[in-house]
Chain A
Amino acid sequence: MIRRLLSPDTVAITGVITGLVSLPFGWLTLKPNRLAGGTGLSLTDGLGGGATVIIVVLWITCLALSLFGRRRWQVTALGIALNLVVIATIFFTGPAAARLIGDAPTVARVSPGVGIWLTCLGAYIAIFSCRQRLKGFPLWQNLVSWLGLLSIFILLGTGWLDNLSVIVEFKNQQAQFVRQLVNHVVLFAGSVFAGTLIGVPLGIWAARRRRAEGPIFFVTNIVQTVPSLALFGLLIAPLSALSLAFPVLREWGISGIGAAPAIIALVLYSLLPVARNTYVGLSQLDPAIIDAGRGMGMSRGQLFRKIELPLSAPLVLEGVRTASVQAVGNTAVAALIGAGGLGWFIFQGISQAANDVVILGAVPIMALSLIVDSAMRGAVKVATPKGLGAR
C-alpha cells in the first residue's frame, strides 16, 4: 500500500504541486541593507510579466506530463521541462535583481524568496522521480539530472547572478570562504581517514574473535547514538583539563575547543560504519571459500591478501562512503566549538540573522556531500572484483 502511494508518479506529482503552490508566494525579497527585514515581491512584480508567463506555462506543462505521461519520451520531456523551470527561474532572477538594486540605495540587497526556493525544491523532487523512472537509459537520465545544475553553474560563472545577495556576500568574504572550505575538507577527510585506519582493524578484530565483537559494537553503537553537538560538548571538559595539566598539549594546539575535540568526535563517528562494514564484509564470506583457500595451502597472510581483502573491499569502502557523507554533515556542527569549516557561515548567519550567510554555508555543504557520495560510489565500483559484477 505504502509502496503504491510512493510510486514514482506520486512523487513527481507531489513535486509539481509543490512547484504550483510556490507561485503565489513572494519570489524576491528586497532589503534596504543586509541585516534588515525586507519586502517580498510577487512573481510578476519581481521577475516581470514575460518571465511569469513562461514559468507558469512550464509548470502547467509539467503538471500535465506528470499526471498523464507514462511513456519514456513523456517522462524525459517532463524531466527536461522541470530543468527548464529551474533554469528560467534562475535566469530571470539575475536581471530582476539588477533592476531592483539599481532603483534602490547602494547597501540594498535582493535575495531569492520563498517562491524561488519552493519552485526549485518541487522541481528537484520531480526530477528525482524522473531519474528513477529513466533507469537503464543513462543518456537521458544524466541529461535530466544535470542540465539545470550545470546551467546554474554557468550563470554563476558568467556573473549573471552577481546582484543576488548571496553572491554579494560571497564576493565580500571570498578569502574567508576558501579558508573555511579547505578547513571543512581537511577536517572531514582527515577524520574519516583516521577513522578508517582505526575502524578497519577493529572490524577485522571483531570478525576474528567472537569475544571482541560484542564490546566493539556496543561502544561504537553508543557513540553513534550521541547527538553530534552533545559529543562535541562532552569532549570540551576532559580536553580542557588535559591541556591545563599538560601545557605541552596546548603548544600542539590541543585544547577544549577548536580542531582537537572536533577531530576526535568525527573520528569516533566514522568508526561504526567502517568497523561494521569491515566486520560484515569478512563474516559474509562463504566459509567454503576460506576452507578451500586454507586446504590449498595458503598461509594466514596469503588468505587475507588474496581472498578476504579483495572480496570484502567493496563493503569496506561502502562503509567509508557512509562515514564520509555523515562526516561532511557533522563537520558543519564542529564550527560551534571553534573548529571552523563551512558551518562557520551557518552559525555566523544565524547569530546575525543574515539568511544569505546561512545559505553561503549550507548550500556548499550539501554540494560537498553529494560530490563525496558520488566519488565514493565510483571508488566502490572500481574496487568491486570483476567476477562479482555479474551478481
Chain B
Amino acid sequence: MIRLENVTRLFDNVAAVDGFSLEVDQGEVCVLIGPSGCGKTTTLRLINRLVEPTSGTILVNGRDVSRTKAEVLRRSIGYAIQSVGLFPHMTVGANIGVVPGLLGWGKERISARVNELLELVGLEPRQYAPKYVSQLSGGEAQRVGVARALAADPPILLMDEPFGAVDPLTRQRLQVQFLRIQRKLKKTIILVTHDLDEAIRLADRIAVMQSGRLVQHDSPERILASPANKFVHDFVGVDRALKRLSRISVEEFIRPTPSVTTSATREELSAAIGGHRSVWVVDGDGRPIGWIDRASLRDPGQLNDITVRADPAEMYVTGSDTLHGALSRMLGLGFKSLPAVDDNGRLIGEITLGDIEKATARGENMDHV
C-alpha cells in the first residue's frame, strides 16, 4: 500500500531522513517511533508531500507520489496532527467538511457525512456540529481532528501524535476508541509517536527510528522480545517484559473456577472448594462479591460471616483487559488471583498470578528463538 524506497531528505546538508525504506500493508497500523529529532515526523510528511525527498521514491498503491499533484494527493490521504490545527473561524461541522468541500461534494452529502463521522468519534452531531473550536475541550478537539482526517473516507491516514496534547486518562480513552474505529474501518495508518506504550497498544507493526534511519521494523511483541540492537533495547527499557503483557489479552488465560452463592449449604461449600485454597462467593445474579478461605471452613459461623468481601469493581477483570492490567491490579490488591466476569458482570472464571508468570516466561523464551 505504502512503500518508501531508500528515501533521503537533507535539511542544510544534514540528513533528517537517511536511506529510509519501509513497507506498510493495506489495513495495517504502522507506528513510527523514536526519540525527538529522529526524523519520524519528516518521514510522515514525505508521504503526503508536505516535504519533498532529496532522493529516493515513495509509492502509494504502486504509484510514485511525485507524479500526482500535491494537492490532489493530499485530499486522498487523511492527515491529523498533534496540535489538531482546527480552523477557529469555522464550526466543527465546517471543519470536518473541508476536504469533501475541496472534492466538490454536494451540501447534503457533506452534512450527512459530518453527522456520520461525529457519531463515529462519539460526539453527538446535533450538539457538536454547530460549535466553534474554542468551545471544545482538548479531548473533543482531538476527536474532531480525527473525524476531519477521515472526512473523505481516505484509504490512508497519516497521524502525527494525534493523542499527544491531552491528559493521560483522555489519551487512553481516545486510544481505545481509535482501536474500535480501526477494527471497523480497516484503514492503512501511519502514526507517529514518542510514547512507547501508545505504540505497543495501537501498532500492528512498529518502526523504530534513530537519526533518520530505520533500526527495527517488527510487531510489538517481537520488538519487545528481541530488540535488534542496544539502541532499541535501551529505548524499550528494562520493563519490556511488563510492557509485553499489555499486548496480551486475559481472554485465553481465564480458567474455570468453583464458586458458591451466599445461600449455599456447608456441604455445597465443601464440595465446591475441593482441593482449592479458596472459593469465590457470588450473589444471586452470579456477580462476585468476595471469597471464602479454606482456613475459614473450620469456623462455625454462617456462610455470610466467613465470606471475605471486596469491591467487585476493584477486583474483577474482563476479557478485554490485558495481562498488564490484571497484573497491576493483583499487585495493588495483594491477590494471587482475580475473578473474571462477562459483559453482565457474572463470574466466568479466574486468572491467576501463576498463569501470568507463565505467559511472561513464554515471551522470554522468544529471545532465544
Chain A residues close to B by CB (< 8 Å): 286, 288-299, 302, 306-307, 310-311, 385-388, 390-391
Whole-angstrom distance between the alpha carbons of A147 and B148 in the complex? 52
Chain A residue contacts of B86, Cβ below 8 A:
289, 292
Nearest residue in A to B74 (C-beta to C-beta)?
A297
Given pairs A386-B89, A387-B90, 18 additional interface contacts (CB within 8 A)? A289-B86, A289-B88, A291-B81, A291-B85, A292-B81, A292-B86, A293-B87, A294-B50, A295-B45, A296-B74, A296-B98, A296-B102, A297-B70, A297-B71, A297-B102, A298-B102, A311-B88, A388-B134
Contact status B88-A296, CB under 8 Å: no
Whole-angstrom distance between the alpha carbons of A153 and B102 in the complex? 54
Chain A residue contacts of B235, Cβ below 8 A:
none
Chain B residue contacts of A302, Cβ below 8 A:
102
Chain B residue contacts of A297, Cβ below 8 A:
70-76, 99, 102
Most buried by B among A286, A290, A291, A387: A387
Chain B residue contacts of A311, Cβ below 8 A:
87-89
Chain A residue contacts of B48, Cβ below 8 A:
295
Given contacts A295-B48, A388-B89, contact A288 B102 (CB under 8 A): no
> B135 near A: Cβ within 8 Å?
yes
A390: contacting residue among B73, B99, B102, B135, CB under 8 A? B135
Minimum-distance CB pairs A-B, first 4: A292-B85, A385-B89, A297-B75, A297-B74
Contact status A296-B89, CB under 8 Å: no
Whole-angstrom distance between the alpha carbons of A297 and B76 in the complex? 8
- B interface, how many residues as a size bin? 20 to 34
Given contacts A298-B102, A390-B135, contact A292 B79 (CB under 8 A): yes
Whole-angstrom distance between the alpha carbons of A391 and B135 in the complex? 10
Determine chain A's interface SS by DSSP, over half rule: helix
Contact status A295-B90, CB under 8 Å: no
Whole-angstrom distance between the alpha carbons of A289 and B85 in the complex? 4
Contact status A288-B88, CB under 8 Å: no
> B133 near A: Cβ within 8 Å?
yes
A388: contacting residue among B50, B79, B88, B148, CB under 8 A? B88
Chain B residue contacts of A289, Cβ below 8 A:
85-88
Q: Interface 1/0s, chain B 158-180, versus A by CB < 8 A?
A: 10000000000000000000000
> B132 near A: Cβ within 8 Å?
yes
Whole-angstrom distance between the alpha carbons of A350 and B146 in the complex? 69
A296: contacting residue among B45, B75, B83, B133, CB under 8 A? B75
Determine chain B's interface SS by DSSP, over half rule: mixed
> B84 near A: Cβ within 8 Å?
yes
Task: Give chain B interface residues in 26-68, CB to chain A under 8 Å.
Answer: 45, 48, 50
Whole-angstrom distance between the alpha carbons of A298 and B75 in the complex? 8
> B257 near A: Cβ within 8 Å?
no
Contact status A307-B87, CB under 8 Å: yes
Whole-angstrom distance between the alpha carbons of A324 and B45 in the complex? 44
Chain A residue contacts of B90, Cβ below 8 A:
387
B85: contacting residue among A286, A310, A387, A390, CB under 8 A? A286
Contact status A291-B88, CB under 8 Å: no
Most buried by B among A292, A306, A310, A311: A292
Q: Chain A nearest CB: distance from B211 CB in Å?
A: 24
Chain B residue contacts of A293, Cβ below 8 A:
85, 87
A386: contacting residue among B81, B84, B132, CB under 8 A? B132
Contacts between the two chains (Cβ within 8 Å), count: 78
Contact status B132-A390, CB under 8 Å: yes
Contact status B89-A294, CB under 8 Å: no
Chain B residue contacts of A288, Cβ below 8 A:
81-85
Nearest residue in B to A292 (C-beta to C-beta)?
B85
Q: Chain B nearest CB: distance from A31 CB in Å?
A: 60
Chain A residue contacts of B262, Cβ below 8 A:
none
Q: Chain B nearest CB: distance from A287 CB in Å?
A: 9
> B91 near A: Cβ within 8 Å?
yes
Contact status A387-B134, CB under 8 Å: yes
Whole-angstrom distance between the alpha carbons of A390 and B85 in the complex? 18
Nearest residue in A to B101 (C-beta to C-beta)?
A306
Contact status A299-B71, CB under 8 Å: yes
Chain A residue contacts of B76, Cβ below 8 A:
297
Nearest residue in A to B135 (C-beta to C-beta)?
A390
Contact status A385-B79, CB under 8 Å: no
Chain B residue contacts of A294, Cβ below 8 A:
50, 74
Given contacts A296-B102, A302-B102, A390-B132, contact A286 B72 (CB under 8 A): no
Whole-angstrom distance between the alpha carbons of A299 and B73 in the complex? 12
Most buried by A among B71, B72, B81, B84: B71
Whole-angstrom distance between the alpha carbons of A302 and B50 in the complex? 16
Whole-angstrom distance between the alpha carbons of A181 and B90 in the complex? 42
Given contacts A288-B84, A388-B89, contact A296 B50 (CB under 8 A): no
Whole-angstrom distance between the alpha carbons of A293 and B95 in the complex? 10
Could you show 7 A-B contacts with beta carbons less than 8 Å apart?
A288-B81, A288-B82, A294-B50, A296-B75, A296-B79, A296-B148, A388-B88
Task: Give chain B interface residues in 125-161, CB to chain A under 8 Å.
Answer: 132-135, 148, 158
Whole-angstrom distance between the alpha carbons of A310 and B50 in the complex? 23
Task: Give chain B interface residues in 217-234, CB to chain A under 8 Å.
Answer: none
Whole-angstrom distance between the alpha carbons of A288 and B141 in the complex? 14
Whole-angstrom distance between the alpha carbons of A292 and B90 in the complex? 14
Chain A residue contacts of B81, Cβ below 8 A:
288, 291-292, 295
Chain B residue contacts of A390, Cβ below 8 A:
132, 134-135
Whole-angstrom distance between the alpha carbons of A297 and B104 in the complex? 13
Whole-angstrom distance between the alpha carbons of A387 and B88 in the complex? 6
Q: Chain A nearest CB: distance from B97 CB in Å?
A: 11
Contact status B79-A295, CB under 8 Å: yes
Nearest residue in B to A294 (C-beta to C-beta)?
B50
Whole-angstrom distance between the alpha carbons of A25 and B309 in the complex? 94
Chain A residue contacts of B82, Cβ below 8 A:
288
Given contacts A288-B84, A298-B102, contact A391 B89 (CB under 8 A): no
Whole-angstrom distance between the alpha carbons of A295 and B159 in the complex? 11
Chain B residue contacts of A307, Cβ below 8 A:
87
B88: contacting residue among A295, A298, A385, CB under 8 A? A385
Chain B residue contacts of A386, Cβ below 8 A:
89, 132
Whole-angstrom distance between the alpha carbons of A288 and B86 in the complex? 8
Q: Chain B nearest CB: distance from A282 CB in Å?
A: 14
Whole-angstrom distance between the alpha carbons of A299 and B99 in the complex? 12
Whole-angstrom distance between the alpha carbons of A102 and B150 in the complex? 85
Chain B residue contacts of A299, Cβ below 8 A:
71
Nearest residue in A to B72 (C-beta to C-beta)?
A297
Whole-angstrom distance between the alpha carbons of A302 and B79 in the complex? 17
Chain A residue contacts of B89, Cβ below 8 A:
310-311, 385-388
Q: Chain A nearest CB: distance from B63 CB in Å?
A: 16
Whole-angstrom distance between the alpha carbons of A297 and B84 in the complex? 16
Whole-angstrom distance between the alpha carbons of A294 and B85 in the complex? 11
